[in-house]
Amino acid sequence: MKTALVIGAGAREHAIARRLAGEGWAVTCAPGNAGIARSLPCRPVDATDGAAVVKLAREIGAALVVVGPEAPLVAGVADALCAAGVPAFGPSAAAARVEASKIFAKELMDEARIPTASWRAFDRPEEALAHARALHGRVVVKADGLAAGKGVTVSQELASAEEAIVAALVRHDLGEAGRRILLEELLPGRELSLMAVCDRTTYRLLPLAQDYKRAHDGDRGPNTGGMGAVSPPPETVPYAAEQLAELAIAPMLAALARRGSPFRGVLYAGLMLTSDGPRVLEYNCRLGDPETQLLVERVEGELGEAFLAAATAGLLGITLRERELWAVGVVSAAEGYPQRPRLGDPVSGLDEAEALPGAHLLYAGLAGDPRRPVTAGGRVLNAVGVGASLAEARERAYRASDLVSFRGRQLRRDIGGGGNR
Ligand code: AMP
Ligand code: GLY
């Protein structure tokens, strides 16, 4: 039996680990969390410490290390594994810049003629404020660097654009990540997540998904890390996934290779379908969270082998197909998420929810005794439902979700129920 090490601590990593275990891999998660530890071995590790990850991979004899989150990738964990001769699925720090620097990503998009919102970069507040005024405040303000989901302000009027500019460039609220910002044209439309497994030169597409980023029903409230997702997208997409990949994935892979940073891992393009056609909003250097929780239900083929091939010899001979089923994921978040999540509340109902047919739970913010865990993060867990129809998948996801209880549990009731405009 081959051993895989999955690096990360969230529901995305739980989904990857569960899928690989189902394909016959012996899987360890590091650091994982108390929820993942209910069914899979977890080992403590600082996920951003390359030497520590290499040591653990060697100790357990990992044939493959899958790095889930961006922070370890940007910190060079995949480079450390490669240098040590351990197959790593995830890009080098240099290629991960496509997510770590939004300005770098925009430069590459322009160079490769990838359709995206028009933009300008600023490091001086007066110039940024003047530009925002010229656009009457209808502008998206983005920190250049990684800001844990807090770096983007979509503004419809001048006051909020000014506030975002001042927060980043004057008060330095976002630290180094916000030393440089970009101001972008605001694009109306519907968002889609397009992901591809890449081996430096070629790629295999994963099923399309749609996530729900706002905290409250009807796409109201603050942006979050994601309150749920659905795959395939509930409304018909007027483009083939291959067509979108020709536009967003292939040219970016080529551009990164030209820069001497070929990309290996999952390249994620956040797309906006506008009335003028698809536009790329951003790139991520990893699988999406919470989309991955659903993709693993819909990919047919050996995903672990595909990751291993991408990390080693290449994707030649690897096929990934799409299963004709629906998958819906509903996040249960802590009270006060995303601003100030309440932590430490006991969680119950997990055994009952885990026993349901057509549904399962994936764990994120849980700590303590795996049999009696307590909340330990903003997003606590995902309930995933699969079915032959969207209605069936939704019903199963919400049934599992509603068996879980903890004080102040916060969730959206409209996941899979339409657009995310
Ligand atoms: P990003 O991290 O760049 O994907 O931005 C986070 C979220 O902000 C996206 O998922 C969109 O919902 C929104 N957003 C980003 N850029 C734009 C844009 N140019 N126009 C409209 N909304 C945007
Ligand atoms: N679901 C959006 C992301 O993973 O960044």
**161 occurs within a structural domain:** yes
Q: Are residues 226 and 171 in the same domain?
A: no
**117 occurs within a structural domain:** no
Q: Are residues 338 and 390 in the same domain?
A: yes
The single-letter code of the amino acid at 392 is E
**49 occurs within a structural domain:** yes
Q: Are residues 59 and 165 in the same domain?
A: no
How much distance in Å is there from the Cα of 156 to the middle of ligand 1? Answer: 13
Does 288 contact ligand 2 (Cβ within 6 A)?
A: yes
Does 144 contact ligand 2 (Cβ within 6 A)?
A: no
What pLDDT does residue 247 have?
98
**85 occurs within a structural domain:** yes
CATH number at residue 24: 3.40.50.20
Q: Are residues 210 and 298 in the same domain?
A: yes
**247 occurs within a structural domain:** yes
Q: Are residues 226 and 287 in the same domain?
A: yes
Distance separating alpha carbons of residues 311 and 91, to the nearest angstrom: 9
Domain residues for the domain of 372 are 326-401
Structure tokens at 54: 């290499």
How much distance in Å is there from the Cα of 336 to the middle of ligand 1? Answer: 23
What pLDDT does residue 421 have?
40
CB 267 within 8 A of CB 283: yes
* pLDDT tens, N- to C-terminus, the chain (421 residues): 899 999 999 999 999 999 999 999 999 999 999 999 999 999 999 999 999 999 999 999 999 999 999 999 999 999 999 999 999 999 999 999 999 999 999 999 999 999 999 999 999 999 999 999 999 999 999 999 998 777 899 999 999 999 999 999 999 999 999 999 999 999 999 999 999 999 999 999 999 999 999 999 998 988 888 999 999 999 999 999 999 999 999 999 999 999 999 999 999 999 999 999 999 999 999 999 999 999 999 999 999 999 999 999 999 999 999 999 999 999 999 999 998 999 999 999 999 999 999 999 999 999 999 999 999 999 999 999 999 999 999 999 999 999 999 999 999 999 998 544 4
**218 occurs within a structural domain:** yes
CB 214 within 8 A of CB 220: yes
CATH number at residue 170: 3.30.1490.20
Range list of β-strands (E), 212-315: 214-216, 220-223, 228-231, 264-274, 277-284, 299-300
Q: Are residues 330 and 397 in the same domain?
A: yes
- Closest atom of ligand 1 to 117 CA is 19
Q: Are residues 159 and 195 in the same domain?
A: no
Give the ranges where 150-268 is alpha helix by DSSP (H): 158-165, 241-248, 250-258
Q: Are residues 78 and 25 in the same domain?
A: yes
Q: 273: Cβ–Cβ under 8 A, 6 or more apart, which residues? A: 189, 190, 191, 192, 237, 238, 239
Structure tokens at 396: 């199963």
What pLDDT does residue 418 have?
55
Torsion sign, CA atoms 263, 233, 338, 333: negative
Distance separating alpha carbons of residues 72 and 48, to the nearest angstrom: 4
What pLDDT does residue 287 have?
98
Is the entire prediction scored with pTM above 0.85? yes
**97 occurs within a structural domain:** no
Q: Are residues 45 and 150 in the same domain?
A: no
Q: Which residue, among 2, 3, 71, 19, has the nearest Cα to 362 in the 3D structure?
A: 19
**184 occurs within a structural domain:** no
Q: Give the single-character DSSP code of 37.
A: G
CATH number at residue 201: 3.30.470.20
What pLDDT does residue 229 have?
98
Q: Are residues 270 and 391 in the same domain?
A: no
| Count of domains for the chain | 4
Does 282 contact ligand 1 (Cβ within 6 A)?
A: yes
Does 284 contact ligand 2 (Cβ within 6 A)?
A: yes
Q: Which residue, among 70, 97, 129, has the nearest Cα to 286 in the 3D structure?
A: 70
Structure tokens at 356: 């349901």
Does 390 contact ligand 1 (Cβ within 6 A)?
A: no
Q: Are residues 317 and 195 in the same domain?
A: yes
Q: What angle do CA 382, 280, 248 make, to 5 degrees?
A: 95
Q: Are residues 369 and 301 in the same domain?
A: no
CATH number at residue 384: 3.90.600.10
CB 382 within 8 A of CB 329: yes
Q: Which residue, among 268, 389, 312, has the nearest Cα to 2 in the 3D structure?
A: 312
Does 280 contact ligand 1 (Cβ within 6 A)?
A: no
